[in-house]
Amino acid sequence: MRLPALCLVLVLAACGGMGFGGNTKVAHGELYQSGDGNYDPFFKTVHDEQAAAKQWPEERKSSRSGLVTALAVAPEASEDTLARETRNRVKSGKSDGGFVSVMQQTRQSELARAKKLEERAKHLDGLVKDGKDLQADAKKSHENMGADKADEKKQDHIRELRRELEGAVDVLGSLASDARSSAKDADEMASDLAHSLEKAGAAVPEEKKEEKEEKKEEKKEEKKPEAKPAAKPASTTKKPDAKPAPPPPPAETKPPPAQKPPDEVFNP
């Protein structure tokens, strides 16, 4: 059963991740400024993303308001509830032209919302990478403080900076995950409405070719198996035939036996 994906967005946006950076200003939704121009633009961006994420529940509510009103269900109704009530309405034969129009409008709105959230998730992933790069930079600066290591105030300041960076990375990771999950729910809502429209005998506008191709590519990336090492191609080079056995050495010819000299004739 699918649960409303955005029910925790406000908590995530305000409190961020649950790692060691959870007890930070950034994790509590506050704007942190370190006074260092190398880091403060990043913290401002994170704060802006948190503020934007707080609008996601309202965007969801607005996207589905027409369907919610037509079905007379609670504004916070889950995807499952909306899909089930829509199917029941169509099955009962009460899906007149007005209701069909509401289904079509909601479907288009959900497709647009899904695309927007998918793009947001990719952007947040990029910010996570930026945050990790800044964490590495802050760690290096901390290790290379030299004589400043004796200054307790400077030590405390850079420790605080590193904690806030960790909190920022946690927050961004949580928001990216939630954006991706919410995009999936919006996409499934649009798919459920497409099926109901077909059952009602209404036309279902096709998605743009580019959007279809983009979704196919994303699914391929998700299901892409690990590459197996390529099998070595069978060698086409013929092995040389076995060398013929060398001919036997010629038989040794024994020299004829030496002839004994004739016995000398005794001459007295």
Range of the domain at 48: 5-221
Q: Tell me whether residue 237 is in a domain.
A: no
pLDDT digits (tens, 9 = 90+) for 11-28: 444 444 434 456 899 999
- Give the position of tokens 């704007």: 31
pLDDT digits (tens, 9 = 90+) for 50-97: 999 999 999 999 999 999 999 999 988 999 999 999 999 999 887 788
Q: Tell me whether residue 12 is in a domain.
A: yes
Q: Tell me whether residue 74 is in a domain.
A: yes
Q: Which residues contact 39 (CB under 8 A, 6 or more apart)?
A: 134, 138, 161, 165
Q: Tell me whether residue 191 is in a domain.
A: yes
Looking at the structure of the chain, the number of domains it has is 1
Q: Tell me whether residue 229 is in a domain.
A: no
255 — pLDDT class (breaks 50, 70, 90): low
Q: Would the pLDDT of 234 be above 60?
A: no
Q: Tell me whether residue 166 is in a domain.
A: yes
pLDDT digits (tens, 9 = 90+) for 129-166: 999 999 999 999 888 877 777 778 888 999 999 999 99
The predicted pLDDT at position 144 comes to 86
Q: Tell me whether residue 187 is in a domain.
A: yes
**72-107 CB burial, b ≥16 within 10 A, e <16:** ebeeebbbebbbebbeebbeeeebeeebbebbbebb
pLDDT digits (tens, 9 = 90+) for 181-232: 999 999 999 999 999 999 988 777 665 545 555 555 555 555 555 555 555 5
- pTM of the predicted model, to two decimals? 0.69
Q: Tell me whether residue 210 is in a domain.
A: yes
CA angle 92, 65, 105 (to 5 degrees): 70
Q: Which residues contact 259 (CB under 8 A, 6 or more apart)?
A: none
